[in-house]
A and B are shown apart, each in its own frame.
Chain A
Amino acid sequence: VSEHLPPAIPADFEDPLEASAEELEVRNAELRPPVGPTSGRRRQRRRSGGALRQVTVTVAILVAVIVLWALGSQFHWWREAVLPPPIDVWHALLDILPTSTFWSALGITAREIVATLIGGLVIGFGLGVVFWKVPYLGRIAEPYLVSFYAVPFIVFYPVMVVIIGLNSWPIIILATTMAVIPMALNTWIGLTGVSSVYWKLAASLQCNRRQTMFRIAIPAAAPIVLSGVRLALIYSLIGSVSMEFLLAPNGLGFQIRYQYELFKDDTMLAYVVVVFAIAGLLAVIISLMEARVLGRRRPL
């Protein structure tokens, strides 16, 4: 829903009728649903110049931000109560790293993210397949899916805490709900949008149902399904940490709020830095995953 359909045919596609037999063989290999390490490597080689520049620019911006932050603190562009100097935050980070408080908070948040992700992907994919197989169900659920896509489920959190109790479950349930919707919607749209040529191909190759599903339908729908996976990942992090920040027994979000209320700004910022690092890690995982699965296909 949110992303554009990729071209079903690669941009460098030429009419195979004009090609020799060997060329045809090579091209057919390239046209196969690109899964596996080969296609990833090929893409990396093609884009390695871009990747190098991306890394350089990202690092340069991060360094610039830290330098500005340090200069600002040094020359009192702002009061220390507004933003403590980076060196203090660095020391606070080194201080919390060996503590069990930090590791238990990280562990709880990580567990919530993983549980949410698994729940969101499995349930979302299942629902998407059901809506695709039973179009009537899909049609009647569509208005809800689309409006729930943009519903702030976090507002339900206090209600869920009242019902279930103050533990990880309300967070996992709500964050899973947030993750399921884009996953279901994108799986459904991806599978519905598979070009009819692919079904004809499956029929003429006499694929059985499983082969049709796993060798043809899913690879063909992969780009759109993947953008659902990406949203599910983002929602699992945003959902868990935000709800912990509101009200929770423990977790990274809770620690940020707790340290804030203790007026320990250095420690609070150290936790903020950890959350930023997790977000960065997730972004790297997403882009590696997309590079690998989409292979030679153009990025969306």
Chain B
Amino acid sequence: VTLALRRSPFLVPLGSLGLLLLGLVCWEIASGLTFVIPSVPDTISALINNLGDPKYLTNARDTFVHILVACVIGVVIGAALGIVLGYLPAVRSSLEPLIVAMNSVPKIILYPLLLPLFKIGPTSQVVMGVLHAVFPMLIMVTGAVASMPPIYRRMGRSLQANHWQVLTRITLPAARRSLLTGARLGVSLATIGVILAEFFSTRSGLGRVMKQAYTFGQYDELMSTVLLLLLVTCLASFLIWSIERRLPE
């Protein structure tokens, strides 16, 4: 197989495409078995209909803007704290248990506590997204900075680089792979945070659209919104991954 792979570079994308088709066929068969699963063409046409509907587009724009803002804030805070902790081994090892425990807390249970502080609306949703996105980033960057070979920093010192130069020329490039992985997880977790918050209580957004579609039994609407979210997050994560893959070891 390895030889064949080397000889024709199309075999892998072809196989991936085949897997996708297999998935679609399974979905279509499942939709024939029960009425609650909308068929593939129905879902796609619902998606296209929705994308032509200005009201739906407003909802989608709100949600994606919140996800983007939450992701950016979460990634920046996570990376900054991660670099600081990575430089301070004593602080890092003492805070480690708390950070690890916080990472495995389902953050959505804090949402009822956030509501009186930030009111129902964009702020509380973004805060929820940030809470979800920040911890994996923090853990990953801390690990990367801490495991950076000490010779890198010694080299910086011997070249008489100032702190800013050490940060931008040495630390960040050394941790870039973890930064990208953290950002990839950040997109997904910020989406979870924002959607869960919207699902719980909000005036606009795709979470609300999904909740309404669920309540009124509009399953093609529900499925097409889920599909839209999956496609967008998959695309974002795939893009980040292709950058990651191209980095030299």
Asked if A155 and B97 sit within 8 Å, CB to CB, the answer is no
Whose C-beta in chain B lies nearest to the C-beta of A154?
B192
Mask, B157-192, CB within 8 Å of A = 1, is 000000000000000000000100100110111011
Across-interface contacts of B102 in A (CB, < 8 A): 279
Asked if B230 and A151 sit within 8 Å, CB to CB, the answer is yes
**Given A275-B109, A287-B100, A158 and B210 contact (CB-CB distance below 8 Å):** yes
From residue A37, how far is it (CB to closest CB) to chain B in Å?
22
Across-interface contacts of B219 in A (CB, < 8 A): 159, 162
Asked if B104 and A282 sit within 8 Å, CB to CB, the answer is yes
Across-interface contacts of B210 in A (CB, < 8 A): 155, 158
User: Which of B15-23, B50-58, B72-80 lies at the interface with chain A?
Assistant: B15-23
A169 contacts the other chain (CB 8 A): no
A146 contacts the other chain (CB 8 A): yes
Chain A 202-232 residues near chain B, CB threshold 8 A: none
Indicate which residue in B1, B113, B140, B189 contacts A136 across the interface (CB closer than 8 Å): B1
Asked if B185 and A54 sit within 8 Å, CB to CB, the answer is no
From residue B193, how far is it (CB to closest CB) to chain A in Å?
9
Asked if A2 and B140 sit within 8 Å, CB to CB, the answer is yes
A272 contacts the other chain (CB 8 A): yes
Assembly CA distance A57 to B20 (angstroms): 50
Across-interface contacts of B97 in A (CB, < 8 A): 54-55, 58, 280, 283-284, 287
Asked if A237 and B226 sit within 8 Å, CB to CB, the answer is no
Indicate which residue in B117, B178, B213, B233 contacts A150 across the interface (CB closer than 8 Å): B233
Across-interface contacts of A46 in B (CB, < 8 A): none
B37 contacts the other chain (CB 8 A): yes
Asked if A163 and B34 sit within 8 Å, CB to CB, the answer is yes
A90 contacts the other chain (CB 8 A): no
A289 contacts the other chain (CB 8 A): no
Whose C-beta in chain A lies nearest to the C-beta of B113?
A83
Across-interface contacts of B108 in A (CB, < 8 A): 241-242, 245, 253
From residue B220, how far is it (CB to closest CB) to chain A in Å?
11
Interface magnitude class on chain A: 35 or more
Asked if B116 and A152 sit within 8 Å, CB to CB, the answer is no
Assembly CA distance A141 to B17 (angstroms): 10
B152 contacts the other chain (CB 8 A): no
From residue B142, how far is it (CB to closest CB) to chain A in Å?
11
B46 contacts the other chain (CB 8 A): no
Across-interface contacts of B42 in A (CB, < 8 A): none
A18 contacts the other chain (CB 8 A): no
B81 contacts the other chain (CB 8 A): no
Indicate which residue in A142, A150, A279 contacts B105 across the interface (CB closer than 8 Å): A279
B247 contacts the other chain (CB 8 A): no
Across-interface contacts of A159 in B (CB, < 8 A): 219, 222-223, 226
Across-interface contacts of B103 in A (CB, < 8 A): 234
Across-interface contacts of A8 in B (CB, < 8 A): none
Asked if B143 and A152 sit within 8 Å, CB to CB, the answer is no
Mask, A156-195, CB within 8 Å of B = 1, is 1011011100000000000000000000000000000000
Asked if A146 and B12 sit within 8 Å, CB to CB, the answer is no
- 12 A-B Cβ contacts within 8 A? A139-B5, A148-B234, A150-B187, A150-B188, A151-B233, A237-B104, A237-B106, A275-B105, A279-B106, A282-B101, A300-B143, A300-B147
